[in-house]
Amino acid sequence: MAWTPIPKPRAVREATNLVDYARTRAGFSWTAERAALSGLPGGGLNIAYEAVDRHVSEHGDRVALRWVDRHDVAHDYTYAELAERANRFAGLLRRLGVAPGERVFTLLGRVPELYVAVLGALKAGCVVSPLFSAFGPEPVRQRLRIGEASVLVTAPQLYRRKVAAIRDSVPALRHVLVTGDEDGPGTLALAPALAAEAPSFDIEPTAPEDPALLHFTSGTTGTPKGAVHVHEAVLAHYVTAKYALDLHPGDVFWCTADPGWVTGMSYGVIAPLTHGLTLVSDEGDFDARRWYSVLAAQRVSVWYTAPTALRMLMRQGADLARQYDLSALRFVASVGEPLNPEAVVWGQDALGLPVHDNWWQTETGAIMISNFAGEEVRPGSMGLPLPGIDACVVLRGEDGRALVRHGEVTPLTDPGAEGELALRRGWPSMFRGYWRDPARYAKSFAGEWYLTGDIARRDADGYYWFVGRADDVIKSAGHLVGPFEVESALMAHPAVAEAGVIGKPDPVAGELVKAFVTLHEGYPPGEALELELLAFGRKALGAVAPKEIEFRQSLPHTRSGKVLRRLLKARELGLPEGDVSTLEGAS
């Protein structure tokens, strides 16, 4: 199904930070953008200073963090208060003998201590590594051990359930700091410890290339990889938030991503604070009415969320959204997995605003390709490259990955040609390595290009379209089929709430395309609907349409919300499922 592009009125374009995309790209310079940041007073660059401290002298009384607790009570923390609390945490690390460069892990939900610990650890020159609080003990143990954690900040109940039993297997872990007022066996209570520290702290003189963040991502093998990012990444956080999320002074910004993932750290903590605006953090779990209430009550103006959440809201119907005053909302964006076209259009209907998809990965550290606030939105497209980012699609071999000859790749210039998406190295938030794995890092590049592992195509106007992960692509009767394309086509049918597509081994075709489908309320599964969906798919996709459809009450997801195609395939083939709790995939 072809989706009609959504144009932007001239008045909307002229009110954005990116009024003229082509001119801004042509004249863009990371060096020039660097002038928007302050740098440390004595020289150097530190993420926490750029996010908080540089705002204190002029805007110390401005609300930096608005935390909504589980009882719907909002608690405000100004830039001055957040800076002081982070100073106390940095002082605590120094008193405990934690040196610059040591790894400080967090295992926390959306609570104020999370923001204090992250910013304080960065001030102390430590490397911050966030963990998802819903992880089980084994994924936690793996990451703590691989990252050689020196400090863990967590909640008492999380420590008892997920860390205490595995602590002896993490020999580098010297200190466990727990939220609250009471020490437990082997832990130090954070509240009294912070109260005993000085409210001021001399920030460690970190350099732009000093390590700052360690983000774990699983990749195709399930073995956690630690992507290392440096303090210079803050420049990309600032610039991409300005252009891709169109952040303005006075905005109230809400990123729903968990701070244990790269999105929740880059855009749920760092980027909005670098712009000096108010960041909303909701402790509660997903609930459609709760989320609409937060948007309305906190007067959120820019909302960054995920396709899975949007699909869950879509299942509740547009009428529910219209019961809330969302008049403050002016921009909605999505990330985490490709955004199906119908979700873009649903946003226009239910919220009065299209949802703007964007693309990036844990390794890129910041948004690379985006549908911009002032540009035409093409439903289903990743969008256009950010200023300062050079992208292309490159020729791939029979395995679906980029074909590398003599260390080089071949960019494809014909519109519509499919290849592996590649980015020219050199942007500030580009990862600087995989932790303790230089060989794996080297394989991520060919010449000047970072190879993303994603298959995409570029249209004649420069918009990029996601096809699938190279390791997900289905080879069926001579066709290379991207699961996302098939899933999006099926979700255009009014009965389909969500779809997951795999390749099923076949002796003739190699693989047959099989779709697992969940349905909206009011559509009972059955043979008649199955035949209708098969015909619907053939009409939209032709030869690459699914040959089998299976109805499911729900589909398995990764912790960050993506459909777990690998698990669907394992179950289909009767293979061992393994420990899927560690899977994350791209950001």
Residue 164 neighbours by CB under 8 Å, 6+ apart = 185, 186
**pLDDT computed for residue 175 by the predictor:** 98
**pLDDT computed for residue 523 by the predictor:** 95
**pLDDT computed for residue 534 by the predictor:** 94
**pLDDT computed for residue 477 by the predictor:** 67
Residue 549 neighbours by CB under 8 Å, 6+ apart = 514, 515, 516, 517, 530, 533, 534
Pairing between β-strand 548-551 and β-strand 510-519 as defined by DSSP bridges: parallel
Q: Which residue, among 368, 465, 370, has the nearest Cα to 425 in the 3D structure?
A: 368
**pLDDT computed for residue 478 by the predictor:** 61
Residue ranges of the chain with per-residue pLDDT less than 70: 1, 218-222, 477-480, 559-561, 576-587
**pLDDT computed for residue 543 by the predictor:** 75
How far from 429 is each of 52, 67, 357, CA to CA, in Å? 19, 27, 20
Beta bridge partners of 587: none
Q: Are residues 384 and 243 in contact, defined by beta-carbon separation less than 8 angstroms? A: no
Helices 341-350 and 483-491: crossing angle in degrees, nearest 10, is 40
Within 10 A of 524 (CB to CB), how many other CB atoms are there? 10
**pLDDT computed for residue 199 by the predictor:** 98
Specify the pTM.
Answer: 0.86
Q: Measured between alpha carbons, how far is 166 from 558 in angstroms, rounded to an integer?
A: 23
What structural domains does the chain harbor?
10-389 (3.40.50.12780), 390-471 (2.30.38.10), 474-582 (3.30.300.30)
**pLDDT computed for residue 369 by the predictor:** 98
- Indicate if the alpha-carbon torsion angle 419, 424, 430, 433 is positive or negative: positive
Name the H helices within 317-449.
Answer: 318-321, 341-350, 438-442
pLDDT in tens, 349-368: 999 999 999 999 999 999 99
**pLDDT computed for residue 1 by the predictor:** 58
**pLDDT computed for residue 157 by the predictor:** 96
Beta bridge partners of 129: 105
